[in-house]
Every structure is written in C-alpha cells, then in structure tokens.
A and B are shown apart, each in its own frame.
Chain A
C-alpha cells in the first residue's frame, strides 16, 4: 500500500469542490490521521479473496421497459435554481 499521498488541494479539484486555505490545512491534518488508521487493512491477508460490492448481492435485475406516469416537465423543473424555456439552465460549458 502506498504511503499517505493525499494532497487535499488536488483531490478537491477532482471532486469539483472549492475549499478555503483554512479548510485545506485542517482536512490535510485530519485526513492524514484517518488514512494512517485505515492502513491497518494492510495487515489482512486478502490473497484469493473476492471483493464484495453489495451485502446481499443480486445480479441482472430487469423489469419491463414500459412507460408509466411520472413527473411532467413543470414538476421536474420545480426545484431548479435556474430554468429557461422549460429547460434546466446551466453555466456555459463550451468556451
């Protein structure tokens, strides 16, 4: 397992999350401590052990792809912070 290399500033960019300088410093110290703690998993012999993704695994769940009553557009938009012409309004994506 690699040694703690958690760079809070860089990871925050990946997570699309601005942080203040103060938060970066606090989280860096706290998360280094937490990462040290979770590295105890290195002790466990996991050779040949399959990973578990879900406690009660189920696979290939299908239901008929049938239309049913659900939201109309107005309901779907009701919580949007910005909307225009019956659509969600987003910040410009293409420069």
Chain B
C-alpha cells in the first residue's frame, strides 16, 4: 500500500492499529515528494531529520498522532524558516510556534514542510512568490491558485496528507478549487492568528486543506478555540466538527445568490456548479434563491481595506529586529527605503503604495472610511440571507486554473479572480471549497470547486452539508496524472 495516497482519516487508522508507523508515513511522503515535487514545486523547505525525530516519538493514540501536516510558509514553526515567500525574510528562523502549530502538536501532529505562497499572501496564483513559482498538479503549465497555492498543490498531488493555509480574500478556497481538494476558511475568530504573519488583520484566518471534508474537520478540531494571545479569537465553544458528518440533509435550505451566477463565469464552471446544486436537491436539500445585493462592491472594498491594513502591518519590516537590511545606509531614511526596496517584490510594493494612499491625510474618509461602511452593508447582506437559508452555495472561482504568466502584468484582472470569495472574509463567515467536477480544456482535466458559505461559527453545519455532497460523488477521489 502507498501510504502517501491515504487521507488523514485512513492514515490515522493505519497508525492507531500499528499497521504502519509514523516514520513510514513520513518516508512514503518523502518518496512521493521526490517523484512529484520537482514538477509541482509546492514546497519551499522540508526538515526531514527533525520530522523523523518527532515521528519516532509520536503518540499515535492522540487525535492526529503521528500525522505529518504541511504548513504554509506564513506560520511560525519553532526552529523552521518562515519566509512568507519573500526575500525580506530569507534567513529568518522562527523563534516560537504559532498557536495553531502548538495546537497541532498537542493533537499529536508533526508539522512537516513549508509550502509556497504568494509573497505575504498577496496574490491568487502563487506567481508572486519571490522564491519560485508552484505548478498546478493537473497541468504544470497552469497556476495552482493562491495565495496558499503550495498547500493546495501538495495535498492534491499526494505530497502531503493535509496542510494548513491562510485565507484573507480566498487564499484557501480558491487554490483548493483550482487544485481539486477541500479547503476551509473558518469563521473569523475561530482560530487564533497568533504566530501567523499578518497581512490584513481584520480578514486573515488560518484554515485546513484536506483530501476530504472529514480531514478538514479533524484539523479544525485541533486548531480551533480562543487564545489569550489573540484578542480577536472568540470564546465560542468548540464542538467535535466530525460529529455531524454523515447526517442527512432533510430540512436543509441552501441559498443560490443571484449575484454569483452572472455572465463571465466559465461555462464549464457554471454548468458543474448548477449540476451540484441539482444534486443537493436530490439529497433532500431545498434550494432557494437569495440576494447579496452589494456583491459587486466587494472587490473594491477589499482592495482598500486589505491594502490599508497591509501597509500598516508591513511597516514592521524595517531591517532592525529581523529580516533583510540594506548594506551601508547613508542615513535612517535610506536604511528603511532601500531595505524595503530590496526585500519586497512588486505586488507587495504595489499594495503598500495603495494602502498608504487610502490612509493618507485627505483621502481617509473618501476611501478607507467609505469602504468600512460598505463592508457593513456586505455583512448585512449575509445576515439577511442567512435568515432564510442554512448555507449559501455558489462557485468558488469564476474560472479554471489559468496559464502561468497570463496575468502578471494586469493586477486588476488578477484581483477579480477572487470575486466570489472576498465577501466572505469581509463578512467573517466560514466558507469551504470542495471539488464538484472537472472541465476539459486542451485535452487536460481541470478541477472545478463548489463553494459553500455558512453562518458564523456554524462550521459543523457547513461541514455536514459539504460532506453529504462529497460522499455521494467521487470527484474527491480523482488524482492528478503522473507528471
């Protein structure tokens, strides 16, 4: 048996019954990585020696005992690099564990490997990584999505059993859709952000990637809960997110937002999502049309608020406490200016400029404050829609994985790739992407993602709805061709 092909749930069974050992689970991954990663390039770094030590000592009776989990390079794992895909953090070694990592460890998991990402999580294709790009495992001439493109690609290609990512405007769900795995963005406040390098603090949330919905639920069990180190983490009870999986969908009402079924969606995406919705009806769910009237403004609101927050968050990269520092600065301004010029890539610079502008004197009210008010209206849209339905169902991305290089010179077009995921971050609701079909393009099969959006802190209900679809289809069992 090839252990690397297993889900976390299946691997857990092997480990618990001692049919396989955690070291064997790690070695199987390493073989798979050796065969696939030269093509996919999902990993930035792996510390096999350290992981082997942890595997040898793993307690397989714990909920994730002995399971290696790949980690997006934006989360601090003690003793490991954490570059955020940026040159400015090359050489940095994390001095502590993020809370999500500490909790994974407490559940017995082994953080193994740093996955590639758009620099500081800014991007939708992982092409903004300053280290190297990552390929889509289904077609290596295409992008894996982003910003957590590395995490999605390594899970889809069997180079990881599961992974953590972060989602600020779709950075878990969109790459999950484009690579054909499950990716969950929990409710804002569900998972502590302590130790997550901040991009936009009011939007960022850590979440899991898995080969199945159940696997994402297992990881969410481990990482959820209030944390005194993050004052925005919420004191909501953490249920066992696997408990409701497998229950039927009788009485469940799903909302189709009319603003999400618009012209311009790839016809194969549109048709697969509509099929999936019909399938839900056959599973006993009731389908209602709902309206989220301010959808069209979400991207504009996001690119004001997220860049404003990013410009403030990235001010900490000043070449003093960590990271790159320019050589022989003439004075303090030259020190800051050149340190940041040399350390940041083009998309990060662009967003720092935009964010600084919208916060600058004379423009604050017109851009930042106005965007915050429209954010209120977007949240209200969701609150009202959820008075009628249990979850919203729509495409994750309006399009299929596009060709590498196609959009690097058109940032606005790149931003519009996130039109269906961004509003969820602005409103704070949880969202998940699961595979719902495949498109054929140039004789290549490309995955299509179905997005389900839930009520705040109702990940249990959301996962139940996602799981019911997944288990009655076989999309999640398909694996990319050998590279």
Contacts and interface: CB of A to CB of B under 8 A. Distances in A.
Q: Do A and B bind each other?
A: yes
B340 A49 contact: no
A61 B337 contact: no
A1 B356 contact: no
A53 to B, nearest CB: 6
A71 B353 contact: no
Interface in B317-335: 318-325, 329, 331-335
Interface residues of A, number: 54
A38 B373 contact: no
Interface residues of B, number: 75
A84 interface: no
Contacts of B228: 63
A51 interface: yes
A46 B232 contact: no
A65 to B, nearest CB: 12
Interface of B: 91-93, 95-96, 187-189, 202-203, 228, 231-232, 234, 294, 296-297, 299-301, 303-304, 311, 315, 318-325, 329, 331-338, 340-341, 344, 346, 349-350, 352-354, 356-357, 360, 362-363, 366-367, 369-377, 379, 411-412, 415, 425-428, 456
B369 to A, nearest CB: 6
A23 B363 CA distance: 23
A85 interface: no
Interface string A25-65: 01100110111011111001010011111111010010100
Contact of A52 (B319, B322, B352, B376): B376
A2 B340 CA distance: 29
A27 B349 contact: yes
Contact of A14 (B356, B373, B411): B356
7 contacts: A12-B353, A15-B352, A17-B353, A18-B338, A55-B425, A58-B231, A95-B331
A62 B369 CA distance: 27
A51 B369 contact: yes
Interface string A2-23: 1001101001101111111001
